[in-house]
Amino acid sequence: QEEVEQICRLSGSEIANINSDRQIVLAGTKPAIAKAVEIAKELRTKIVDLGIGVGSHFSGAAPVAKKLALVLEHVDVKPPKIPFIANATADYITTASQVKDSLVRHLTSRVRWLEMVIKMIQELISFSDPPLQRRQQTLFSITTHQKRLTIFQPIGQTERV
């Protein structure tokens, strides 16, 4: 992850998602992503463009997050009835105000998938849904033999790398 953080500092991109210690997603402006790709290639890091046409989980989504916060002021949200871990914090959400805050923060904060999975495993929460079981099994076998960097760009700016 240190190498990816260095790529971000040098390029102006941001970490959008940490799927595992070897699969990290970046987001940013088109020039920032282009620079990140250039740096990653110099470092011989494997790069995969997800081809996602939405810019979220980074500071560039702040204008949308502000609009969402205004909309949520007029929405009656109930507290979760089951344990729920927020993507942005990898912590449990227990109140309605935390749900609203999490929805807004989700747009501009990195997804802490790996931390969430580790927390659930440590607390012995089992996955009962078959698709989640497959995702869990995949998580621990992702790209164990090489470095991998997955990137996406804001909507309308996606290019194959």
Amino acid 124: pLDDT: 64
Amino acid 11: pLDDT: 95
Q: Is 16 exposed, middle or buried (0-12, 13-18, 19+ CB in 10 A)?
A: buried
Amino acid 147: pLDDT: 40
Return averaged pLDDT per consecutive 10 residues of the chain, 161 residues in all.
90 90 86 91 85 81 94 94 88 93 93 87 60 42 35 38 35
Q: How many CA atoms lie within 13 A of 29 on its CB side?
A: 5
> Cα separations (Å) of 33 from 29, 51, 161?
6, 13, 10
Amino acid 95: pLDDT: 94
Amino acid 138: pLDDT: 35
